[in-house]
Amino acid sequence: IFILAVESSCDDTSAAVFENEKKLSNVTATQKVHEAYGGVVPELASRAHQQHIVPVIHEALRQANVKMSQLDAVAFTKGPGLMGSLLVGNAFMKSLALSLNIPLIGVNHMQGHILAHFIKDEVQQKAPNFPFLGITISGGHTQIVKVNSYFDMQIIGETLDDAIGEAFDKCGKMFGLNYPAGPEIDRLAKSGNPLKYKFAKPQVKGLDFSFSGLKTSVLYFLQKQLKENPDFIQQNIEDLCASFQHAAVQILLDKIKKASQLTGIKTIAIGGGVSANSGIREALKSQSKQQQWEVFIPSFEYCTDNAAMIAIVAYFKYLEHQFSDLSITAKARLNLTDN
Ligand code: ATP
Ligand code: FE
């Protein structure tokens, strides 16, 4: 089965070609236009998708060495995400399905982040066994999901306010870093002291999270320091990044431990843009020994938004004949459990 998938939920235009669960290509065009604005500008994002979608699809097919006429289905992200961005992929792939006369498959982006572990390539061969705890940590979500099978998922904990990626980006902005600040914090944290500054840890019941408290704690701390020393941030940027990252990782780890204890599940699979973070990767690897967890971390390529994760979900949907008809609409808000 050959599937072409497109992901266009936010600011990256991505296309992937799969043969069954195997990735043949995964091509992503990132949008630079947003950097100057400190965040994604929706109108600019949808225009850039329109410019990128044709060349990105052509390149994905070329790298895969697959012709349009060989495709068995086409897939796209139906939500959640920015409406204008989603619409570009939606309209384009509908037309493609119609003109090729092959099935169309709408995919939930958040299911993509979780099922990215099932993508097969030269590096990534082993997938988690069910049931596992899918930890989605991204720019818009922070969720602990009990994954019983490909399409049977249950959210058992989530953030009550900001997503963890949002906390990285917003605190990074306070540190004077460019958007998205997550990767930059990660890089700077490597040469900083994670125990230099202590930020207040939120007290949230059960398996839910709060990251806005951490952000406020960082803000008050900086305001106080800057009064005494206007150059405080520049002089301590590495320690600030390391300490912030350490706090965020601890908040996350606490809840994962709790979730594992409550459910008895020891297979932990992280996904989403923030799972690219080296602090989180290292912490999970070391915990896996202590807690006897089997930890799954996707290749970098499949952490941030990419079409490969859309293609893998589409493949599983194809097997179950879960096809979409041409009336399918883009959904800016879409729950994880909406297929
Ligand atoms: P969602 O998937 O919830 O709709 P999104 O698609 O915008 O949101 P992703 O692309 O999955 O989110 O992830 C983007 C986020 O990941 C950004 O907040 C970015 O700062 C963060 N991020 C990327 N790399 C790293 C890293 N190395 N360390 C920390 N955060 C990172
Ligand atoms: Fe995402």
Q: Is 172 in the pocket of ligand 1 (CB under 6 A)?
A: no
Share above pLDDT 70 across residues of the chain, in percent, rounded to a whole number: 100
ipTM of the complex, rounded to two decimals: 0.98
Please give the pLDDT value at position 339: 83
- pLDDT computed for residue 221 by the predictor: 97
User: Which of 78, 168, 173, 175 maximizes ligand 1 atoms within 8 Å of its Cβ, making it the mutation to test the pocket?
Assistant: 168
When the pLDDT of each residue in the chain is averaged and rounded to a whole number, the result is 96
- Read off the pLDDT of each residue in 237-255 and give the average, rounded to a whole number: 98
* pLDDT at residue 249 tops 90: yes
Question: Can you give the pLDDT at residue 31?
Answer: 81
Please work out whether the CB of residue 298 comes within 6 Å of at least one atom of ligand 1. no
Residue 52 has pLDDT above 80, yes or no: yes
Predicted pLDDT of residue 158: 97
pLDDT of residue 69: 98
- Decide: 183 in ligand 1 pocket, CB within 6 A: yes
pLDDT score, position 217: 95
> Residue 141: CB within 6 Å of ligand 1?
yes
Residue 69 bridge partners (DSSP) = none
Q: From the CB of 157, is ligand 1 less than 6 Å away?
A: no
pLDDT in tens, 107-144: 999 999 999 999 999 998 899 999 999 999 999 999 99
* Mean local confidence (pLDDT), 237-261: 98
* pLDDT at residue number 41: 85
pTM beyond 0.90: the answer is yes
84 lines ligand 1 (CB under 6 A): no
Residue labelled with tokens 């690897």: 285
Instruction: Quickly state the pLDDT bin for 328 (edges 50, 70, 90).
Output: very high
Pocket test for ligand 1, best of 166, 274, 275 (most atoms within 8 A of CB): 274
The pick from 215, 304, 331 for probing ligand 1's pocket by mutation, whose C-beta has the most ligand atoms within 8 angstroms, reads 304
Atom of ligand 1 nearest to the CA of 245: 29
Question: What is the reported pLDDT for 152?
Answer: 97
Cis peptide before 80 (omega within 30 of 0): yes
Give the integer Cα–Cα distance in Å for 181 and 159.
20
Q: Looking at the predicted structure, is the pLDDT value of residue 333 above 90?
A: yes
195-214 confidence digits (pLDDT tens): 999 998 888 999 999 999 99
Ligand 1 atom 20 nearest Cα: 182
